[in-house]
Chain A
Amino acid sequence: MNVLVLAEHDGQHLNPITLHAITAAQFWQSPVHVLVAGNALDSLVDSLSDIIGVAKVIKAEASHLATPLAEDIANLIVSISTDYQVILAAHSSFSRNALPRVAALLDVAMISDALEIKADQTYVRSIYAGNILTHIQSQDTQQILTVHSSHYIAASTHGGKAQISSATVPAAFHKTRWISTKHAQSDRPALNSAKVVVSGGRSLGSAENFEQILSPLASKLNAAIGATRAAVDAGYAPNDFQVGQTGIVVAPELYIAVGISGAVQHTYGMKDSRIVVAINQDPDAPIFQVADYGLVADLFTAIPAITAAIQ
């Protein structure tokens, strides 16, 4: 039997989280196939076939897959599913949307955001905003899961020699119509793959402050900017900046938490960062419990001082 990895991409570039999923897929010591669905995929397919650890790239091309719906991705995966003992993807809004649909169609339970894959169909995942870890064993013969990409290293992108094949794409799902996609325009690195993240909380006080205080620091560090839900709800930062249980999960080399209290719903999204720096004026703020370096200070003086002191 084989393992199927669902690739995530924007039509041109592979999302690096897929490389982590390919590493996770090696666990079963079975041939790993990567399914890439879209339109006009030749260059992507070439780069996928060069990844070490991929035995086969399955290309599924159709015009309606250029802006793929969960419904279409699910029907496509189901159409080739009998060859696979395991179907997985990196945990993302794309895979969270499509894979539960696959699982239900195949009458299989799904494991979301597996932190660890163990023998005997056992997985470790977190519940309650990361407060508790559960070890669960699947009783199904087929396994469907998303994996927590930061827990797996990226597969090497050169030196592989995968076969390439094409899948027959099922007819488009007609009851849903894609209208538009808006990608936040930004010169900064993507939040979920940035090496440095600077995040701000409600304490920034306004959208103007959020920008004026955090942007210069983020620019100097080539960092992505993140935010707490409180900051997003207050309109200081756009929705896709939200880090946490119900936002994005990041694990950069350096995470700088600026005026963030450290609610579990937030720390869930950043506690796998290598180094956490917290700046908060309250010495008892819970964020200091997950920080490697804590500075009790007023952010409005500390952040400009840090920005000025770095090259």
Chain B
Amino acid sequence: MKILVAVKRVVDYNVKVRINADASDVATDGVKMGINPFDENAIEAALQLKEQGKASEIIAVSLGTNANQDVLRHALAMGADRAILVETDSKLQPLAVAKLLQAIVAQEQPSLILLGKQAIDDDAGQTGQMLAALLDYPQATFASHLQLENNELLVTREVDGGTETLALNLPAVVTADLRLNDPRFVKLPNLMMARKKQITTLNAAELVVDTASRLTLIKVAEPEARKAGMMVTSVEQLLRQLRDHEGINL
């Protein structure tokens, strides 16, 4: 069984992003980049299935510029067998990403496609569902547990107020929540070894997919800060403020 894992290159989660001078976009020049954290959970899930003898090959795929080689190397160092870089200079939106991944799925015919449940840059959380729709595949989003038995995938998903368990026929699309697993650390020797693994580069144009953007970015802004609060020095003062100034019945 082949597993395809999609990985996105995003601004590192520790970076406090800013807007650029003319407020036309987020300033990403010179900012530390890395793999989207949820995608690491997706890779880890694939590796665990392989270690259980349930998967034979793990292919990591990323869409973007040549710079995306670094997140693919990371996936390879974690243990993916090979990688595909779909090269494009355009800023892809989720629907375009889903269409490009659909083309890769047609080429590779994986039984399972794993993605992160959302990317921490645009926080859209759409790509997995869109890909499943285009392929007419079953989907399980926000997965916190996976188990493959008799060609059926049992997935526990995190939903508001609880969890839900689904059984999916393969091929299927699953998006990973952070709780799915603890991604393994990449050690230096793994990184060295990953250099020998293959990254195939395709040009997005070769895949003949409509990647035109449907959402035009008009401007970006920093949100209004909350109005400055006050520090209180005791529990009594805190409760007095809440009762007398905020009308809270305590």
Task: Give every chain B residue within 8 A of A277 (Cβ-Cβ).
Answer: 238, 242
Check if B122 is an interface residue, CB within 8 A of chain A: yes
A26-34, A49-57, A201-209, A292-300: which lies at the B interface?
A292-300
Given A133-B222, A253-B248, CB of A178 within 8 Å of CB of B166: yes
Interface contact A292-B120, CB-CB below 8 Å: no
Q: How far is it, in angstroms, between the C-alpha of A291 and the C-alpha of B138 when the chains are bound?
A: 43
Interface contact B139-A127, CB-CB below 8 Å: no
A39-47, A93-101, A161-169: which lies at the B interface?
A93-101
Near A by CB (< 8 A), chain B positions 208-233 give 213-223, 225-227, 229-233
Q: How far is it, in angstroms, between the C-alpha of A128 and the C-alpha of B82 when the chains are bound?
A: 30
Interface contact B216-A137, CB-CB below 8 Å: yes
Interface contact A96-B239, CB-CB below 8 Å: no
Number of interface residues of B (CB under 8 A): 81
A-B contact count (CB 8 A): 247
Check if B144 is an interface residue, CB within 8 A of chain A: yes
SS of A interface (majority): mixed
Task: Give every chain B residue within 8 A of A290 (Cβ-Cβ).
Answer: 226, 229
Check if A306 is an interface residue, CB within 8 A of chain B: yes
Interface contact A108-B214, CB-CB below 8 Å: yes
Given A130-B223, A178-B166, CB of A306 within 8 Å of CB of B178: no
Q: How far is it, in angstroms, between the C-alpha of A126 and the C-alpha of B98 when the chains are bound?
A: 22
Q: How far is it, in angstroms, between the C-alpha of A136 and the C-alpha of B218 when the chains are bound?
A: 5
Interface contact B120-A291, CB-CB below 8 Å: no
Task: Give every chain A residue within 8 A of B11 (Cβ-Cβ).
Answer: 128
A256 CB to closest chain B CB, in angstroms? 10
Report A169-188 CB contacts with B as 1/0, cut-off 8 Å: 00001111111111110000
Interface contact B160-A92, CB-CB below 8 Å: yes
A86 CB to closest chain B CB, in angstroms? 15
Interface contact B126-A103, CB-CB below 8 Å: yes
Interface contact B130-A176, CB-CB below 8 Å: no
Interface contact A179-B165, CB-CB below 8 Å: yes
Looking at A71, A113, A140, which has the most chain B CB atoms within 10 Å of its CB?
A: A71
**Residue on A with the closest CB to B246?**
A275
Interface contact A310-B239, CB-CB below 8 Å: yes
Task: Give every chain A residue within 8 A of B39 (Cβ-Cβ).
Answer: none
Check if A215 is an interface residue, CB within 8 A of chain B: no
Interface residue range, chain A: 35 or more
Check if B108 is an interface residue, CB within 8 A of chain A: no
B22 CB to closest chain A CB, in angstroms? 14
Check if B188 is an interface residue, CB within 8 A of chain A: no
B129 CB to closest chain A CB, in angstroms? 4
Looking at B13, B117, B125, B169, which has the most chain A CB atoms within 10 Å of its CB?
A: B125
Task: Give every chain A residue within 8 A of B159 (Cβ-Cβ).
Answer: 93-94, 97, 181
Q: How far is it, in angstroms, between the C-alpha of A156 and the C-alpha of B161 when the chains are bound?
A: 25
Report A229-245 CB contacts with B as 1/0, cut-off 8 Å: 10011000001100001
B245 CB to closest chain A CB, in angstroms? 9
Interface contact B229-A175, CB-CB below 8 Å: no
Q: Which residues of A contact B (CB under 8 A)?
A: 69-71, 74, 92-94, 96-105, 107-113, 122, 126-140, 173-184, 190-192, 221, 229, 232-233, 239-240, 245-246, 248, 253-254, 264-265, 271, 275-277, 288-297, 302, 305-306, 309-311
Q: Which residues of B contact A (CB under 8 A)?
A: 11, 13, 16-17, 19, 26, 38, 93-95, 98, 117-118, 120-134, 137-142, 144, 154, 158-169, 172, 177-179, 213-223, 225-227, 229-236, 238-239, 241-242, 246, 248, 250
In the A-B complex, the 3 residue pairs with the smallest Cβ-Cβ separation, listed nearest first, are A109-B214, A100-B129, A104-B130
Instruction: Give 22 A-B contacts (CB < 8 Å), ordered by A residue.
Output: A70-B139, A70-B141, A93-B159, A97-B139, A128-B17, A132-B223, A137-B216, A176-B169, A177-B168, A184-B162, A191-B161, A233-B179, A254-B246, A265-B13, A275-B246, A277-B238, A289-B226, A292-B246, A293-B231, A295-B231, A295-B232, A306-B239
